[in-house]
Structure 1
Amino acid sequence: MSDMHISLDGLDAMAHDLDQAGDRVADELYPVAKKAAQNIKTGWRKRAKRSAGKHGKLYYLAIDYDIARLGDRIDAEIGPQSAKPQGGMGRGFEYGSVHTAPKPDGQAAVEAEAPKFFAQVEAAIIRALDT
């Protein structure tokens, strides 16, 4: 069996570059995440307006989103805001109850946005790594 040699030259530089890329990736991903959150909110509202019926006529207006960035972490929360009129009814609409069938409008909005989101995430990462 012959000896094997692995050169680690440049490993520190590569680790530094990857660490620096984290901020660039987050810079590129923030607008992608914000657009996806907006699109999901819009899609969810459209679906909910149709499916909520007369007893949920304000529910769709309670659906909103918040997005925040802390360092290289991006968090988006999308859904009904309980402080808004009929916002507390989200669980009942999405998951149903013993008296009503579920209306998974939020899930449908996420599924509709997912392919576009993942394509944009890939493009954003490539842009960040190319700079």
Structure 2
Amino acid sequence: MAELDASELLAISEYVEDGARRAAEGAYPLVREHALALQKRWQDNARKTAGRHGKHYPRSITSEQIYAEDAAIWEIGPDRARKQGSMGEGFEYGGPYQPPHLDGQRAAVATEPEFNAAVDAFARTLL
């Protein structure tokens, strides 16, 4: 009669399941923290570049969680429903009489390395 010992396989399975659970629990606060940092940077940049004609524009920049069962997704940018939110495209990309301000792009470039480092550090805790 042959005996098969699957205890190590079961231990690996439990370890992987625990890692997946910890990843799911940790992803939301990590992404939220950096989404809010991106929003604040974008608003700060917009305050410096919008001038008097765009004094309400920085407050139109919001962050919102997008529902997903298997991902942590946030959307950051001007909300058209808010005062001067519809001017976001013109401020960001410019127009015939205004150069692009690139407030959102500069905020994203500044936030990206911090976000990537946080994801890397978090992933290492799962190993």
Same fold (TM over 0.5): yes
Give the alignment's Cα RMSD to 1 decimal. Answer: 2.1
* Aligned twin of 2:114: 116
* Aligned twin of 1:86: 84
Q: Tell me the amino acid that sits aligned with residue 73 of structure 2.
A: D
Instruction: Please give the per-residue CA displacement for 1:57-91, whole angstroms capped at 9, x wherever unaligned.
Output: 10000001012453331111000111000001000
Q: Tell me the amino acid that sits aligned with residue 96 of structure 2.
A: V
CA distance, structure 2, for counterparts of residue 15 and residue 80 of structure 1: 44
CA contact (8 A) 1:64 1:80 kept: yes
Task: Using structure 1 for the length normalisation, give the TM-score.
Answer: 0.81
CA distance, structure 1, for counterparts of residue 123 and residue 46 of structure 2: 33
Highest RCO, 1 vs 2 (Cα 8 Å, sep ≥ 6)? 1
Provide structure 2 residue ranges, at least 5 long, that are not aligned to the other structure.
Answer: 1-7
* Aligned twin of 2:20: 22
Provide structure 1 residue ranges, at least 5 long, that are not aligned to the other structure.
Answer: 1-9
Task: Using structure 2 for the length normalisation, give the TM-score.
Answer: 0.83
Instruction: Please give the per-residue CA displacement for 1:1-25, whole angstroms capped at 9, x wherever unaligned.
Output: xxxxxxxxx7897577546533321
CA distance, structure 2, for counterparts of residue 16 and residue 94 of structure 1: 48
CA distance, structure 2, for counterparts of residue 44 and residue 91 of structure 1: 13
CA distance, structure 1, for counterparts of residue 47 and residue 104 of structure 2: 12
